[in-house]
Amino acid sequence: MKYKVFLFLVLFVFQAFPQSLVIKSLKSYGDNDETSLPIITPGNGGAQHLTIEFDVQSEFLPNLDIVFRFCDRNWNPYNNIFLFNQGKNIGYRLDFAKLPTTVKEAKYHYVGSFPDSRGYVDFPFSGKWRFYVTDSQDTSVVYATGKFYVVYPAVAIQDTLKKEQLEDKIYFPSDLSKVFNITTNFNLPNDLYPGNVNEVEIIDNHKIDYPIIVDRSGNTNVRQFYWDGNRKFSFIARDILPGNEYRQVDLRNTNIFQSKDVNAHLDEVDYSRFFTLGKPDLNGGSILTNFSDDYATYLNVTFTIRPPSEVPGGIYLVGAFNNWKISSDYQLTNNYGLYSITIPLKRGIYDYQYVIANLDNGNLLSADWVTLEGNNWDTKNIYSVFLYYNDPNYGGYDRIIGYQQIRSE
């Protein structure tokens, strides 16, 4: 009887005082460059570690792990036991620092690098990976997730970029015809099979969820594949819109942004920048105020744009704060031609832009990245180029065998 009473009390306390936990301002990047795309190339001269950091809103000290899973080229984790990396795939018992008491929206902060010094985590496979911030007692409880690349190059690829104009139709304004041509050339080593060369994927700055794919299934006017029947390959994408330098919101000045509810640009609203080249940006990244700073607080930031005319779809806010993902959560509200949205942001500087898009039950039907932003050959972008190979080992997996970054400047 006493046992039943004790159990009842435990269940009552647990249900009456549940621990709510929210991950905020999650970032991942290579080594110590928080503006970089999360790519690591262990032992190959690039970033050697993946850095993960975030704030936690929780009444009690969090008890969290980070689980790492190897994925196919579509970011789906493999269920193949040979690719689980069992015993080296979990960062245990994360250490947290306490945020200043001035930060009311979160209480703890985590920052860590992987592979870690304790030897709990490594990344033996070259390709796409995901991480999951989970409950330590039950890893099926996932609070947040992120994506990153691990690259062990086996092929030296040579990328070139040049300016071209599309000629398949008449473009008005003519700036819409301006594109970059990125050509990837390489010779395949003798220990790799030409028939397993799959595709080239190009990431524009930080737009991981919107890759430019050139595969070997067929040629078009703008996506082309060439193979000499031996070891020489070429993949060509000649329809890459350069876009414009990103807009920026800088919330770091506490003398300007004094209250909790602020406008991104004080009393000003955004307008179309189609014929105006923007200022230099962070190539899609962000820089957050150091977590130990008393002013590393969160603000409710309102973004507002007045487009020049009625737009054929909704207007969506995308940027470093939502991983450049077009989402219904970031659709602006139209109030007599003035579109706006308010989102919570930690103090810092963020690249962002507006996209005209159509969504159907969360599925992206169309996206226009340039009508409100412009399309200019002088835009400085970073393109990350990955070469994929169908590796038959371990039951088969999508392996990145070549990687290079190329700048449009």
Region 180-209 average pLDDT: 97
**With bands split at pLDDT 50, 70 and 90, how would you rate the model's confidence at 138?**
very high
Class of domain 18-150: mainly beta
| Topology match between the domains 18-150 and 247-368 | yes
pLDDT exceeds cutoff 90 at 223: yes
Give 214: exposed, middle or buried? Use CB within 10 Å, 0-12, 13-18, 19+. Answer: buried
Distance, first Cα to last Cα, the chain: 76
Confidence check: pLDDT of 14 > 50? no
Question: In the predicted model, is pLDDT for residue 7 greater than 70?
Answer: no
Q: Are 374 and 173 contacting, i.e. CB atoms less than 8 angstroms apart? A: no
What local confidence, expressed as pLDDT, does residue 9 receive? 34
C-alpha to C-alpha distance for 1 and 397, rounded to whole angstroms: 56
Write down the pLDDT at residue 10.
35
Q: Residue 196 carries which DSSP code?
A: G
Picking from 233, 59, 251, 90, the residue whose alpha carbon sits closest to that of residue 155 is 233
Kindly list the distances between the CA atom of residue 180 and the CA atoms of 218, 381, 407, in Å, as whole numbers in the listed order.
20, 11, 11
pLDDT tens digits for range 283-294: 999 999 999 999
Quickly name the fold that domain 247-368 has.
Immunoglobulin-like (2.60.40)
31-70 burial code (b ≥16 CB/10 A, e <16): eeebbbbbbbbbeeebbebbbbbbbbbbeeebebbbbbbb
- pLDDT band of 27, cuts 50, 70, 90: very high
The pLDDT of residue 15 = 38
Residue 119's pLDDT band, with cuts at 50, 70 and 90, is confident
Kindly report, residue by residue over 62-115, the tens digit of the pLDDT: 999 999 999 999 999 999 999 999 999 999 989 999 999 999 999 999 999 999
Closest-CA residue to 147 (of 267, 40, 42): 40
pLDDT of residue 409: 78
| CA–CA gap between residue 362 and residue 365 (Å, rounded) | 9
The two structure tokens encoding residue 240: 């890459």
Out of 2.60.40, 3.30.310, 3.40.1350, 1.10.3470, select the CATH number for domain 158-243+379-407. Answer: 2.60.40
Mean pLDDT of 151-164: 97
Check pLDDT > 90 for residue 43: no
Report pLDDT for 1.
46
Which of the four pLDDT bands, split at 50, 70 and 90, describes residue 19? low
Tokens of 292: 């130990």
Q: Do strands 39-40 and 142-150 pair parallel, antiparallel, or not at all (unpaired)?
A: parallel
Q: Render pLDDT for 225-242 as a digit per residue (tens, 0 to 9).
A: 999 999 999 999 999 999
Which residue, among 68, 82, 74, has the nearest Cα to 392 in the 3D structure?
A: 82
Whole-angstrom distance, CA of residue 354 vs CA of residue 113: 33
Q: What is the mean pLDDT of residues 295-311?
A: 95
Confidence of residue 116 (pLDDT cuts 50, 70, 90): confident
Beta strands of 246-396 (E only): which ranges? 247-250, 261-263, 286-288, 298-305, 314-319, 333-335, 338-346, 348-360, 363-368, 382-391
Report helix, strand or coil for 174. helix
CA 246 remoteness from chain centre: 15
Residue 21 pairs with which residues in a beta bridge?
58
Q: Residue 10 is encoded by which pair of tokens? A: 């435990």
pTM for the full model? 0.93
Task: Give the model's pLDDT for residue 45.
Answer: 83
- How many helices (H) and strands (E) would you count in the chain? 1, 26
Percent of the chain with pLDDT over 70: 95
Q: What distances in angstroms separate CA 230 from CA 194, 233, 256, one per listed residue? A: 7, 9, 63
Where do the domains of the chain lie? 18-150, 158-243+379-407, 247-368
State how far the Cα of 339 lies from the Cα of 316, in Å rounded to an integer.
10
3-class DSSP assignment, residue 395: helix
| Burial track 215-235 (b if 16+ CB lie within 10 A, e otherwise) | eeeeeeebbebeeeeeeebbb
